[in-house]
Amino acid sequence: MATTNELREELKKNLSRLQALRDEVRVRLHLAGLELKEQWNKFEPSLDEVEKKATELSEASRAALADAVKRLETFRSSLRDKHDVGR
């Protein structure tokens, strides 16, 4: 089990990663099709909730944040794949 400082640092790092990924996805969305934009509109509100929970120093918040980062990286990849197909 992680110490409080380790947990705090991991949450801080993953929260920063989540926010950077969110910004990148927003930029790429303008090139995306309607289907991906609809997926994003359903997905993005859950990110707000995860960011709020990231202030809690708990294993549950660590797991939720790590899962959100993973799902956002997958979504970002789908944006790349859709965009690259059109090239």
Residues 31-80 pLDDT 10s? 778 888 899 999 999 999 999 888 888 989 999 999 999 999 999 998 87
CB atoms within 10 A of CB 28: 18
Specify the DSSP class assigned to residue 31.
T
In a domain, 21, yes or no: no
Q: Look at residue 76 and tell me if it is in a domain.
A: yes
Host domain of residue 59 = 47-87
Q: Domain total for the chain?
A: 1
User: Helix, strand, coil shares of the chain as percentages rounded to 5?
Assistant: 85, 0, 15
Give the closest residue to 54 by CA, choosing from 43, 39, 66, 38.
66
Q: pTM value?
A: 0.77
pLDDT of 83 strictly over 60: no
Residue 22, domain member (yes or no)? no
Write b or e for each residue in 49-79: b if 16 or more Cβ atoms lie within 10 A of its Cβ, otherwise e: ebbebbeeeeeebbebbbebbebbeebeeeb
pLDDT for residue 87: 45
Residue 67 lies in a domain: yes
Q: With respect to residue 13, please indicate whether it lies within any of the assigned structural domains.
A: no
Instruction: Indicate whether 15 belongs to any domain.
Output: no
Question: Would you place residue 82 in the very low, low, confident or very high pLDDT band (cuts 50, 70, 90)?
Answer: low
* Domain presence at residue 23: no
